[in-house]
Structure 1
Amino acid sequence: MIEKLIAFSLRNRFLVLLFSSAIFVWGVYAIRTNKIDAIPDLSENQVIVFTEWMGRSPQLIEDQITYPLVTNLQGMPQVKYVRASSMFGMSFIYVIFEDETDIYWARSRVLERLNSLGNALPDGVVPTMGPDGTGVGHILWYTLDAPGMDLGEQRAIQDWYVKFALQNVKGVSEIASFGGFQKQYQISIDPNKLSYYKLSLPDVMRSVNSNNNESGGRKFEMSDIGYIIKTTGYLKSIEEIENLAIKTQNSIPVRIRDVARVEMSGESRLGIFDYNGEGEAVGGIAVLRYGENADEVIDRLKEKMKEVSKGLPAGVKFNIVYDRGELIEESISSIKTTLIEEMIVVSLIVLVFLLHWRSAISIIIQIPITIAASFILLNAFDISSNIMSLTGIALAIGVIVDNGIIMAENAYKHLAMRQAELNAASRGGSNV
């Protein structure tokens, strides 16, 4: 088989050169389109289900949320196993699928199971799926540099302006906010006053809920003009909440302010984000979507940040804390330099030791063609250019050259033997 292939190649040199050129051009295109990252993504193919039920103990979360969800999510096709974790007020379910499973097919299967839960969970508890990102998807961390602005205002800017703008960047799965205070109205009830007015916590909750909504009316026409009737009842200030009536006793309304204190405060936190020991900071984490090119997405994020900066309050700017783009550039640059140096050194060694420029060129040409062809396979198997894949290519250069040298030496040996036979035959004929 090999002899026939060699014979065919020798008889059709133009076709071999044309095929090699096509492979090289295709490989160059593959290099330009190959995904670039600093580290390979070795994370499992998983879908995360997050459920929040604040104020409940881990044991209650385990019994009423985690256990029903785990039993419901088991038995799906292509699922390897299901992991779970319960903590104060939160439940995490990790559904691990087979490696070859399409992630969006897996997410749709999980969503189908969640929709079939029915009344298995407590009222008001709704499980949600995590972002379609990998375990190594944190590609960029940033904070807001806002001197003189309180943490609540910074978090409001992050949650209601910056986050929504950056989430529209192609390839970004989620912008996860961290730090600061999430503003909220808090009603601190005095139990003694509540008992004095013969009220209960559900009474206070019912009053707030019923007065914090909108209701629609009907549409009617008058003088050829259509009017839409609606009532606006959303609470907009502390005073409005304080003046809500809970019930009426002896024709006198008992209001929220009579039994509780209303104030604007921040949601309870389990930790803080400190930046370089300089104090708390507010920012976000950009999570890469499955199958995206990390280097391109980071560039898009930075361009979007320049655009978003124009709408920030005076004195507020972005401060990039972690940028994988710098790690990617340094890693790829280092590997590229190594590859080029290896190619130059190997070429010089081949020229010096073979002392035959035609044989040396045939061996040297194999290096760029083989490297270019390897990127075709990387794209075919959806493998990014990272430290591990490029290092493997660099290590393989020695094997490529060794094969070329062996073939050249073997060809030279057979040619020398054939030439010796021809010389012996010619000398024999002359003697006759």
Structure 2
Amino acid sequence: MPPPPEQAQPAEPAEPGPSDISADPPAGEIQAEPDVGEQLQESRLQPYDAVLLLSFGGPEAPEEVMPFLRRVTAGRDIPDERLEEVGEHYFLFGGRSPINDQNRALRQELHGELRRRGYVTPVLWGNRNSDPFLTDVLREASDAGVRRILVVTTSAYSSYSSCRQYRENLADAVAELREEGRELVVDKVRQYATHPSFGRVNTRLVTDSVRQLDEPDDTKLRVAFVTHSVPVGMDDTSGPGDGEGNLYWHQHDELAHVILDEASATLDRSLDGALVYCSRSGPPSQPWLEPDISDYLRQIHEQGVTHVAIAPIGFISDHMEVAFDLDTEAAETARELGLTMVRTPTVGVDPEFVSGLIDLVEERAAEAEGQNVAHPAWPGEAMPAVCAPGCCPNLRESRPALCGRD
């Protein structure tokens, strides 16, 4: 059982508390350009009082590893002995996941981009499974006068675990606060795997990785597009309830094909590759999406391939799945096989990606104000910000979810 999925960028100094809703961070963090400060709007990004970056979370010290894993696997009857095996992955990195530092960095960049566009809307940060916990952040925001929040998740694709589960956690948090007499309205930007900025940045990064490999023979080079594996049943039901399913796989597959086509055209080559997976967990009897990245590396080695670019397009930052599954395990497999490997960076805090997220924030704000707005997509079709009934269902139990019509 690999580390639990961390859906989320180099470490940055710690920011102020997660629910600090002041418009201006302390000196030395985010500084507006001299001419920008004079142009800031008097109001925030209407109709929202704050933007919330919502992520999976991860431990930040060895003593936090087991409590974190117990929270992630609650209700699944996984014994501590098995969780301790998973915990060893974290202990290889000092018992600290990189994900929270990455979220601090992304939060800072999102705030900076909002300021560059003339907004003083604060950006909050909360996690589903570790401190700062989502409910605590929303409670503190409510105490500070926040009434309407727009959520940006660190998960780009459409499936239960990468979308609806976030919506369920939001519903739980808002319901708990309502019992305390606190009323919050929470909206969310649409899933952004098909947003042009996400595709363009990934294309540029993969193109650069192929250049780094410096192997002119296309038959000896492959691009492995990696994402988190999910149960086949979860993929089969991903997407709107009245659709064909398999939207999780389809979004990745479309993006991988577009990247190969664009990189081939840019480099005047005929590149080949495949969509592969990492971080499979669950009982052996349960089918998950395959092939595993290490199995794929062995397969292409037998075919005479000598160079491979590993592109983690399923993730937005270099968190534990990337650090352990790719930079540790897959890299070791490549060394054993004698493959020359380059690991493509994730989109992280690339300015074009950050700008695209704020485009989505502005898009959702305009929708909430009743405006008709465009929903750019490349490749594929744009997902709605308000999910359709039955979209990416919970196959284990029926639970309420926010930001949808069910």
Per the normalisation by structure 1, the TM-score is 0.21
* Rg larger for: 1
Name the structure with the higher strand share: 1
Name the structure with the higher helix share: 1
